[in-house]
Structure formats: C-alpha cells, structure tokens
Amino acid sequence: MSSHQKKCSPIPSSAQPYDTKEKTGKWRSFKDSFKRYEAFDEEDDEKLKNLTDIERANIRTANSPLQRKLNSRTITMIAIGSSIGNGLFVASGSALNAGSAGGLLVAYGITGSAIYCTMQALGELACEFPVSGGFNLYASRFWEPSVGFAVAYNYFIQFLVLSPLELVSCGIVMKYWNKSINADIWILIFYIIVASINLFGVRFYGETEFVFSSIKVIAVIGFIILSVILAAGGGPDGQSVGTKYWHDPPPFATGFKGVASVFVTAAFSYGGTELVGLAAAEAQNIRTTIPRAIKQVFWRILMFYMVSLTLICFLVPSNSDKLLGASSVDVTASPFVIAIENSGVKGLPHVMNAVVLISCISVASTSVYATSRTLNSLSEQGLCWKFCSYVDRAGRPIVGIIITNVFSCIAFIAASGKEGVVFDWLLSISALSSIASWLTINYCHIRFRRALKVQGRSLKDLAFTSRSGVLGSWYALLVNVLVLIAQFWIALFPTGGKPSANNFFLSYLGGVVLLLFYFGHKIWKKNWIFQIKAKDIDIDTGRRETDMEALRQELEEEKMILQSKPLYYRAYRFWC
C-alpha cells in the first residue's frame, strides 16, 4: 500500500458487518434491520474534517455500507438486459421512419460502437474503484467536482422521472386488454410491486431483474428466429420480400437530417447500459464479475440490436403508416409487431404487449435502484442533505428508496388525461442525461490513464484494462459530442416541422439544467478550477486491490493458465 493511500484511506473504526444471523426473533430482526448502519464514528468524523472535500468524498464513498450481494449471474444479466426495452421494441419504429433502413443501421451501429468503448472504460474504472455512486463520483475525482455535481444530479433526475413515467406506461399497456378499468387501479398494483422489489434488498432486486432480463432476452431471440423465417418466406402468406424494402423506399430516403435524428433515438435506446457502474459497489467479486458483465455488452449490441434491426429492415418499409406517431408504449407501432402482422401471423401482438409490460416494470424497478444509490452517493459527498445517506443494516439506502417511491405517486395523474404534457416536460429535463454520463465516463478514463502515467504507475497494477484503450475513449467521446450537436440541430430545426421555442426546450432543456447545476456548484463552493491536475488526482483511495504484488502474481498465473487453453477458449474468454 502506498504512503498516499495510508494517509487518505482510514478504515472506519465502527465499520463492523451487521450480523444478520443474530439469535433474535424474526420480527425483532426485521425491525432492527431498518436501523442505521454507522460506518463512521465521531473519531472518524474528526479525522475527515481535516481533509479536503474531494478526499472526504473519496473516503466516504469507498467505505459505503451498501452490501455486496450481487453475484456474477445477476450482474451479467443486468448488463445484458438493462437497456433492452421500449427503445428497441417500439421506439426503433419511429427511428426507422425518420432515418430509413440505411440511416437506422448506421446510427445504431456507430452509437453502439461508442457504447462498447464507453463500457470498456467504465469496466476499468469500476474494477479499480467500486465506490458508492460509481461513474458519477469519477467525474468529481478525475475531472473536477462541478462536473461531477452536475452529471450526478442530472442522472438522479433522469431516473427519478422515469419511475412514475414507466408506471403510467404500465397503465397504458394494460388498456390494450381492458379499457374499461380506471388506469390508476393498474398503476396502484404496479406501484406496490415496484416499491416492494427494492424494499426487500439488493439481492432480491438482483434476482428480480435477472428474471425480467431473461424474459426480454428470450423475447428478442425468439423474434430474431421468427424474423429469419419470415424474411425467407416461411410465414403463413408464403411470400419472401427479399431486399424489396432496401430499394423501395431507398435506404437513405430522408437524407442526412433523418440519419442525424436517429442518433438521438439510438442514444435513448442504449440508455441504462452504464448501470453496471452503479452495481459495482454491491458486487460480490468485483475483479471477475464486472469484466464479464462489461464484455457481454458487445454481444448485446451485436445480436440484440444490430441483428434484430437488420432483419426488421427486410420486413418493414420505412414509409409504413403504422410507424408514424410511434410512442414508447404503443405496441401497435412496434416494428416487430408490424413485421409479423404483415406476414399474416396472428396473436403475437398480445405476446409483444406482455413483453413491453415486463420492460416497463423492469425499468421502473431499476429507476428506484439507480435513484436511491445516486442520492446516497451525493449525500456521502456532502452535496445533498445528510439524512439522505441513511443506509440501514440490511444495506438499503432506505431514505433514497422512500423519496423515489413518494415521487412516483405523481404517476396517479394518469386518470386526469394530462399526463402526456406533464411527462414531456419532466423528461425534457433529463433528456441528455445518458449522453452526458457516457461523455463523462470516457473523459474520466482518459484522465485516469493520464494520472497513472504522470504518477509513474503501471497498467500492470490494474485488475482489468479496457480492450479499446484510451483511443477507444477518445472515439466514444467524439461520437457523444457529435450526438449532442445533432440533437441541438434537430431541436432547432426539427425534421418535417418549423422551428419553435417549445420544441427546442422539449428536446434540449436537459442541457440548460446541466449548465445551471454546473455553474451553481461553482458559485456555491467557490470552485473555479476547470480540471484537476494529473499529478494531484487521487488514484489510491477506494481501490479494491491494495496488495499490488499479490495482484500482479495472480494476474500472471491466470494469463499462464489461459495460454495453455485452446484458441477457441481464449477467444471466448477475450470477448466474454
């Protein structure tokens, strides 16, 4: 352990694990589990007072009382299923209409390659620093605190809004089967389900998300197999469309502006991929679990997005009237359903509707998870009310969960008929959140590598290194900047519409919010630095592997074992 690490990484004297097997009654154990877990006592707090804001934040988030109960299986499935939802199942239809077949695949392919590089960078950082708040804290640590403050609050708002929105979506989806029942009744049922999932703890959330993600993955694989059969003429009508819809209409019928607009939809569709970074703080075996989950992103992008969307382009014309006005919960506008209906297959819209319903529940549950962890991290950094850092003995950030669930009650406006207007503006606040987070992750990775070089540290000290390296992070950074520019352009001059202030702020209000938080933090903290010097970046506090010699020896042994394996096995382990 370095001298710097010894100085800046005190182990809280009160950080003793809570004995869940204490011999008490079940009711007493349940009641006691809600008591606060004290990770720091008064002596520890006195020590922290003598440190800088950044040093205190690094230590508190590195010693968070969140419990490590997410195993490799659940983390991997969260990585695979976190962004498989309405963005793929439904919103891809409006993207096909806006950008045509060629524009759809180009935009999703480029964005997907950038996400792959981003996830590689996140994997490297998360394996070294599995701290509370994940990538939101990295911005404060490797870039500068005001950026971290702005990105973290914008990410918090994004998922805070998504929770009630997805509950409203559940009510709308249920209308597909029964329009006579008040939507608020369905919302109440799903509200109780979503609230209960996170109250049962992180292990229960992980297992539930594993089931939800498995259903989504099976659905996508099933649609891919069916689409291949339909494209080959194996449907009830027996007709093979071949490459007809690649010529009529043309693959780039809407021009460059149409392609640019698809980048925005693609970014929305891939949103949620970065959740693995938040889950790292609660993973059981970080060094093996996180890399494996990160590598799975490649296969998800390749198969679940690119393969399924390529097949859709063979089966659905981009000028289909059914694609127009596609919303995030309108199952009839899903290109998957349209492809199957055009081929004469009956009954599948009901299956698709069930998958969309499960996706809505999954995203709502994940929103509570992400919001509560982000709020907890902000409080631990001293950037939010102190009581928001309350974590009980079962490892639940209970205050954050309660705040999110209370805010989710706004979903009950569904019966008023005004939910569309309210949520359009709520979503506009956090519309750029995922892009801002990805951009930040890539630049933080670049700064981390720079700090390692300046401080004379070796890449051999890292448990996992990004496959795409620093060049991959620069590439992903550039793509995200271009997506922001594309969204700004489309917001000013919408495709097929006239410029208006209302449309602009609906698309770009998130950028205004980011700037307000950024400059607000600078005024509040009187922080006028714009980048921490590489020599001053803390690359020790919170690192999970502290015995570097033992780590190097273990990594060398693993490499030697891997080299003795057949080529196909080595290739499999490289990608998976």
For residue 4, pLDDT over 50 is answered with no
pLDDT in tens, 86-117: 778 877 888 888 888 999 999 999 999 999 99
Phi, psi of 42 (to 5 degrees): -65, -35
- Alpha carbon distance 294, 467 (integer Å): 11
Contact indicator for 296, 79 with CB cutoff of 8 Å: yes
Q: How many CB atoms lie within 10 A of CB 415?
A: 13
Cβ atoms 59, 10 nearer than 8 A: yes
Report the mean per-residue pLDDT for the chain: 80
**What pTM does this model have?**
0.85
Burial of 273-309, coded b for 16+ CB within 10 Å and e otherwise, reads: bbbbbbbbbbbeebbbbbbbbbbbbbebbeebbebbb
Q: How far apart are CA 308 and CA 311, in angstroms?
A: 5
Which residues is 70 bridged to in the sheet? 283
Band (pLDDT 50/70/90 cuts) for residue 571 is confident
Is the pLDDT at 3 greater than 60? The verdict is no
Over range 219-242, report the average pLDDT: 80
Tens-place pLDDT, residues 8-47: 445 454 444 444 444 456 777 766 676 776 665 555 556 6
Residue 563, token pair as written in the block: 């080299």
Cα(441)–Cα(113) distance, integer angstroms: 15
Distance CA 392, CA 143 (A): 31
Give the whole-angstrom CA distance, residue 474 versus residue 488: 21
176-181 long-range contacts (CB < 8 A, ≥24 apart) are: 176/331, 176/349, 176/353, 177/350, 177/353
Directed axis angle between helix 53-62 and helix 42-49, to 10°? Answer: 150
Q: What is the pLDDT of residues 40-77, one digit of tens each?
A: 555 555 666 666 666 666 676 666 666 677 777 787 77
pLDDT of residue 233 exceeding 80, the answer is: no
Residue 330's SS3 state is coil
Q: What is the mean pLDDT of residues 298-319?
A: 86
CA distance 45 to 47: 5
Q: Convert 354-368 into a string of H (helix), E (strand) and C (coil).
A: HHHHHHHHHHHHHHH
pLDDT digits (tens, 9 = 90+) for 474-501: 999 999 999 888 888 888 887 666 777 8
Q: What is the DSSP letter of 284?
A: S
Three-state DSSP at 146 gives helix
Q: What is the mean pLDDT of residues 524-551?
A: 80
**259 neighbors 98 (Cβ within 8 angstroms):** no
State the burial class of residue 348 (Cβ atoms within 10 Å of its Cβ: 0-12, 13-18, 19+): middle
